[in-house]
Structure 1
Amino acid sequence: MTAERTIVIIGAGVSGLTTGVALLEAGHPIRLVAEEVPGVTSLAAGAMWGPYLVEPWERVRDWSLASLSAFEALSDDPATGVRMVSGIEAARTHVPAPAWSGLLPNFRTCAPEELPAGFASGYRFTVPLIDMPVYLQYLLDRFQSAGGIVERATIQSLDAVERASAIINCAGLAGGDLAGDPGVRPIRGQHVVVKNPGITQFFSEDTGLSPDLLCIYPHGETVVLGGSAIDGEGDLRDDPETARAIVDRCAEIEPALATAQVIAHRVGARPTRVEVRVEAERLANGVTVFHNYGHGGSGVTLSWGCAGEIATLVATTTAP
């Protein structure tokens, strides 16, 4: 297959792998080219379904719903790393329900006694919680089982992609550079993975635009604790001071976390844009590139919806 012209996907994060699976299962020959497989930022994700500071809402709504349906189906198979988990999102002030609350049939307002001390409002709901190392390996296995080819390489220019009948730009932060789009910026995120002391429900705080996040995501034997959101920062080295602060914030909600064994530190740079870019563009050399980047902190939440739209665009766009 590698000697033939194929659709070439750039990037092996959750967007690239999901788009690859969608296109392969629609009958297209696919090569996926990436420097790191799977992508580091996707590996660092928490990850809980929920459209997080991402626009435009009209499209985000449909993409999120499509992904929600896909994850609900995947949660039936423990090997995917996807589970449906109940929990609470709360705030220390009175805040309205998020726009996406209407997408969840089980979304409800918390009674005051359900909230931790110091919190004024909150909501309980059940959503997909995704163990990203397990899930990305599942996607990679599904991609390769369907005939997808993986090549480890760094792509510096869309014009340099060889033997491509079309290109899918799922390169995350690098996607903006490849597209000549200066509107993509990193937002640094850090998580701490600890041994689970017995937590079964998630908790997250609505911290607005604060760089200091609070989230507790149980994944069976481990819990992912978060987090941070440093706008404009792309350094992927873990920061011990940030890690300690994350554990301390989470331990205020679940005291057993204060002494939980730390297993790993995960750092990623969310590829953020004013609006997610999912559209086709014809390059000067005649090849069509389909952009799928700029998902910010909602890459997992939008992954199946955006992949489905790319598959539709590929099917309906004439390529030479």
Structure 2
Amino acid sequence: MSGRSPRVLVIGAGVSGLTTAVLLAERGCRVRIRTTEYPGETTSAVAGAIWGPISLAPRDRTVAWARRSHGRFLELANEPGTGVHLALGTVASREPIAAKRPEETRLMTDLRACEPGELPHGFTAGARATLPLIDMPRYLDYLTRRFREAGGELLRSQVPSLSDAAGESRIVVNCTGVGARELVGDAGVLPVLGQHVVVENPGIAEYFVELSESGRWASYMPHGDRLVLGGVAVPYAWDRVPDGEVTAGILRRCAEIRPELRDAPVREEIVGLRPRSESVRLKVEHYEGARIVHNYGHGGDGVAVSWGCAHEAAELATDE
């Protein structure tokens, strides 16, 4: 990259769009984000969120993205005001867990198998480790501040087409998540609805995640005085109105593990649409004279790979 700093248009203000925009702005690019939803309104704001093993393709690239993101979250956990902190907790299953562990578990320096007495009733296997937890509302605010301090501009403005984007900037980064289905006509991107219940934290400091293929599980993520309970995965659903029956099920499953949650006051019920795809789309497309960098299709692992994907997207955007 040489000469005058390039102008870059980033579409989308979730964790993928914001992180990519931060890196580009801090590299000296003139960056504008256009988005239909402010960061706090996006699916990213609904996430739990925790860094952990991922289930994305292509595997050879996603492991590297997760590794880079893990390193960055460890750094951010030492910076006040980021919303990132480290917590010890448990991942458990009611069924036997595969003996082969994902490669990224090597980053968990204190990972160990659970003793039988450490597992909740009905669970047969589990592991304990210290992992980064991300309080998404605070974290998105942090990224937004950092972006604006680097000179970035954030506009609530719909981008109706790639032609519109290409007409505004010769470098475009598409971080639209499920919105890519309409914006670029990618029918392979499908919504998977997730719902969480946020309650007042009765004093829980550890996280818990149930491994389940049923589409319904128990999980809780402590973020100071708020606790984010989950969860569900409902494919092909677009309605972002919270379902009372889903909320009741989440509260019941979590209270079976931590009885003190039975009486925890509910602060809010939140819904987001995870962008499921067979493979993350992180690549360059040349369109109507513009360089389009696509960065979407992260499913429920968008936070866990956000920094790794953002670094690659920023490099693709400015590689001339």
TM tier, smaller = over 0.9
1:182 to 177, 181, 187: 187
Is the contact between residue 172 and residue 290 of structure 2 (CA under 8 Å) also seen in structure 1? yes
RMSD: 1.3
Structure 1 residues 23-60: Cα deviation after superposition (integer angstroms, max 9, x where no partner)? 11122110000011114201110001124432222111
Report the more deviating stretch, 12-21 or 89-98. 89-98
Instruction: Kindly state the Cα deviation for residue 314 of structure 1 after the two structures are TM-superposed.
Output: 2.1
Q: Distance in 2 between matches of 1:53 and 1:66?
A: 16
Q: Residue 89 of structure 1 aligns to a residue in which SS?
A: strand
Task: Indicate yes or no: 2:116 matched with 1:112.
Answer: yes
How much identity, in percent, do the aligned residues show? 44
What 5-or-longer segments of structure 2 have no aligned partner?
none
1:166 to 162, 171, 177: 171
Letter in 1 for 2:175: C
Structure 1 residues 147-194: Cα deviation after superposition (integer angstroms, max 9, x where no partner)? 001111111101012430210000111123222211000000000000
Report the more deviating stretch, 174-183 or 303-312. 174-183
Task: Indicate yes or no: 2:257 matched with 1:253.
Answer: yes
Instruction: Kindly state the Cα deviation for residue 77 of structure 1 after the two structures are TM-superposed.
Output: 1.9
Q: Distance in 2 between matches of 1:206 and 1:226?
A: 12
Q: Distance in 2 between matches of 1:176 and 1:143?
A: 27
Q: Distance in 1 between matches of 2:238 and 2:134?
A: 23
Q: Distance in 1 between matches of 2:95 and 2:173?
A: 42
Name the counterpart of 2:38: 37
Q: Distance in 2 between matches of 1:293 and 1:163?
A: 21
Task: Indicate yes or no: 2:51 matched with 1:49.
Answer: yes
What 5-or-longer segments of structure 1 have no aligned partner?
none
Name the counterpart of 1:25: 26
Name the counterpart of 2:67: 65
Q: Distance in 2 between matches of 1:139 and 1:313?
A: 21
Instruction: Kindly state the Cα deviation for residue 312 of structure 1 after the two structures are TM-superposed.
Output: 1.6
Name the counterpart of 1:90: 92
Q: Distance in 2 between matches of 1:50 and 1:294?
A: 18
Instruction: Count how many residue pairs are aligned between Structure 1 and Structure 2.
Output: 312
Q: Residue 88 of structure 2 aligns to a residue in which SS?
A: strand
Q: Distance in 2 between matches of 1:80 and 1:66?
A: 17
1:198 to 199, 203, 206: 203
Q: Distance in 1 between matches of 2:244 and 2:54?
A: 26
Name the counterpart of 2:300: 297
Following superposition of structure 1 onto structure 2, how do residues 141-290 of structure 1 map, counting pairs within 5 Å?
141-161=145-165, 162-207=167-212, 209-283=213-287, 285-290=288-293
Instruction: Kindly state the Cα deviation for residue 5 of structure 1 after the two structures are TM-superposed.
Output: 7.0
Instruction: Kindly state the Cα deviation for residue 276 of structure 1 after the two structures are TM-superposed.
Output: 0.5
Structure 1 residues 229-277: Cα deviation after superposition (integer angstroms, max 9, x where no partner)? 0011121000011001000000000000011000011100001100111
Structure 1 residues 60-82: Cα deviation after superposition (integer angstroms, max 9, x where no partner)? 10000111011110011231110
Q: Distance in 1 between matches of 2:57 and 2:261?
A: 34
Report the more deviating stretch, 259-268 or 53-62. 53-62
Is the contact between residue 170 and residue 289 of structure 2 (CA under 8 Å) also seen in structure 1? no
Is the contact between residue 93 and residue 120 of structure 1 (CA under 8 Å) also seen in structure 2? yes
Q: Residue 70 of structure 1 aligns to a residue in which SS?
A: helix
Is the contact between residue 5 and residue 163 of structure 1 (CA under 8 Å) also seen in structure 2? no
1:306 to 276, 288, 309: 309
Letter in 1 for 2:269: H
